[in-house]
Amino acid sequence: MKKIFITGGAGYVGCALSDYLTENGYDVTVYDLFLYGEDVFNYQNKIQCIKGDIRNEELFEKSIKDQDVVIHLACISNDPSFELNPDLGKSINLNAFEPMVKICKKNFVKKFIYASSSSVYGVKEINDVHEEIELEPLTDYSKFKAECEKILIKYNDKDFCGVTIRPATVCGYSKRQRLDVIVNILSNIGYHKREITVFGGKQLRPNIHITDMIRAYKLLIESPNELVGGEIFNAGWENKSVTDIANIVKRELGDDINVIFSKTDDNRSYHISSKKIKNILNFHTKFTIENAVNDLKKAFEKNLLIDPLNNPNYFNIKKMQKLNLK
């Protein structure tokens, strides 16, 4: 299965994945609106780019011909961006999904990998938050992720492998950088302001390094359909408290960083277990939060990120506010 079609392939994870798969000999097509720019690939000349909206069924079907695997990353990402325009969020994150799956199946796509979210679990008190426990999504963003999982399973069969992955919060450097996720937020503020404010601190957050995330997608591509078809896998490893993350940032970026603690009414804690992907697919993470912080540090030192405290390209909510996408 050599031909890989990635919706949202110019996004934070998508551009890194597109490069990684190209580097490993795959023929990659990216289908994206390119809202954050087009110069996001190291292998720009080898990756086929199609500027398109997943809601445009005619263009999507035309683009999907002869593809082996679809990795569906495209969405209005994270709760604040979604809540900016709930109708837009629903049209992209939910309404477009089933027509897209039907088109893929009709056109003999062999495998469809869906990027859901670990947020579908909601807040759980138990330690082992595994794939079989009840979902309690707290927001429409998470609810629609959960709904799409059910839709995909409905279409899974011996000729069409549908598999879902529930990523933890991704961290680290990417050519299409995000600085609005927890490790990256604290690294950015710590490096530039030398002061971090932690609200609460005991709350757990599941994290996965961006390189491990793209390794997990490659593993799903290469795993036998009979092994992963109809399955759901969590993908994360480090469930760290916000205090722990702040302390890691301080340790990696410099002891002169001042960490301030402030009370909060929001003590929601999230964590997941990734035993299943380890036991069934032998997936082991290789990178840590420390690696992510240092990757960002190098990017700041080399001026790879322009005005990282204010540039809306690094903050989804700011960018979506400016775009007013319909």
* 276 Cβ contact list (under 8 Å, min separation 6): 130, 131, 233, 234
Whether residue 323 has pLDDT greater than 70? yes
Residue 180: closest CA among 80, 55, 290:
80
Q: What percent of the chain has pLDDT over 70?
A: 100
**What is the structure's pLDDT at 81?**
83
Whether residue 192 has pLDDT greater than 80? yes
Q: Per CATH, is 3-323 categorized as 3.40.50.720?
A: yes
Whether residue 1 has pLDDT greater than 70? no
Candidate ranges 59-63, 234-238, 261-265; pick with highest mean pLDDT: 59-63
Query: Is residue 25 helix, strand or coil?
Result: coil
**What is the structure's pLDDT at 84?**
86
Whether residue 103 has pLDDT greater than 70? yes
DSSP category for residue 134:
P
Which sequence spans correspond to the domains of the chain?
A: 3-323
Does 254 or 128 have the greater pLDDT score? 254
Q: Which whole number is the average pLDDT over 273-296?
A: 97
**What is the structure's pLDDT at 125?**
86
pLDDT in tens, 122-159: 999 888 899 999 999 999 999 999 999 999 999 999 99
Residue 68: closest CA among 115, 5, 14:
5
- Mean pLDDT of the residues in the chain: 95
Q: Give Cα separations from 46 to 144, 148, 201, 243 (angstroms).
A: 34, 31, 44, 42
What tokens appear for 127 in the block? 């330690």
Does 1 or 217 have the greater pLDDT score? 217
What tokens appear for 181 in the block? 């996720």
Q: Give Cα separations from 81 to 6, 76, 78, 93, 198 (angstroms).
A: 21, 6, 6, 12, 22
pLDDT in tens, 8-67: 999 999 999 999 999 999 999 999 999 999 999 999 999 999 999 999 999 999 999 999
Whether residue 271 has pLDDT greater than 90? yes
Whether residue 182 has pLDDT greater than 90? yes
**What is the structure's pLDDT at 218?**
98
Between CA 46 and CA 129 the distance in angstroms is: 40
